[in-house]
């Protein structure tokens, strides 16, 4: 059975890119969200095996959403996605419980490596 993944990014283009990489590699994208608040709702609804989470988003940022998801499920597997130069935020995210991070622009092999490693 394919691993279920929730893709969270405020840019539809980025969601499409990551979804494309995942589906081509045998993962199932069960839902998408455009901000942290939506991510929480979709997480509760779909209970995915893994979440890819953008850091900078409107409404609720990725780090806040990560903390809220961890309250729902302390074992949640979340990989943060960030642009270059957001090292401080990446450190915050790892401290908040993120399993890994992927730097934009996405490289397919790095995305798959991070997800495969996290899902173990």
Give 10-residue mean pLDDT values along the chain (120 residues). 92 96 97 98 98 94 96 97 80 94 91 95
Highest CATH level, class, for 4-119:
alpha beta
pLDDT value at position 31? Answer: 98
* Residue 87 pLDDT: 78
The predicted structure's pLDDT at residue 1: 64
Which residues lie closer than 8 Å to 27 by C-beta, 6 or more apart? 2, 3, 5, 115
pLDDT on residue 72: 96
Among positive and negative, which fits the CA dihedral 31, 36, 38, 43? Answer: positive
Question: Could you tell me if 89 and 98 are in contact, meaning their C-beta atoms sit under 8 angstroms apart?
Answer: no
pTM for this prediction = 0.94
């Amino acid at each position: 059975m394919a691993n279920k993944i929730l893709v969270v990014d405020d840019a539809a283009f980025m969601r499409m890119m990551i979804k494309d990489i995942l589906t081509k590699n045998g993962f199932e994208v069960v839902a998408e969200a455009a901000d942290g608040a939506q991510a929480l709702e979709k997480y509760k609804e779909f209970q995915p095996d893994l979440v890819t989470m953008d850091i900078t988003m409107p409404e609720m940022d990725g780090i806040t959403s990560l903390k809220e998801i961890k309250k729902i499920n302390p074992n949640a597997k979340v990989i943060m996605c960030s642009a270059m130069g957001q090292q401080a935020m990446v450190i915050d995210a790892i401290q908040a419980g993120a399993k890994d991070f992927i730097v934009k622009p996405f490289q397919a092999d790095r995305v798959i490596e991070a997800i495969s490693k996290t899902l173990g």
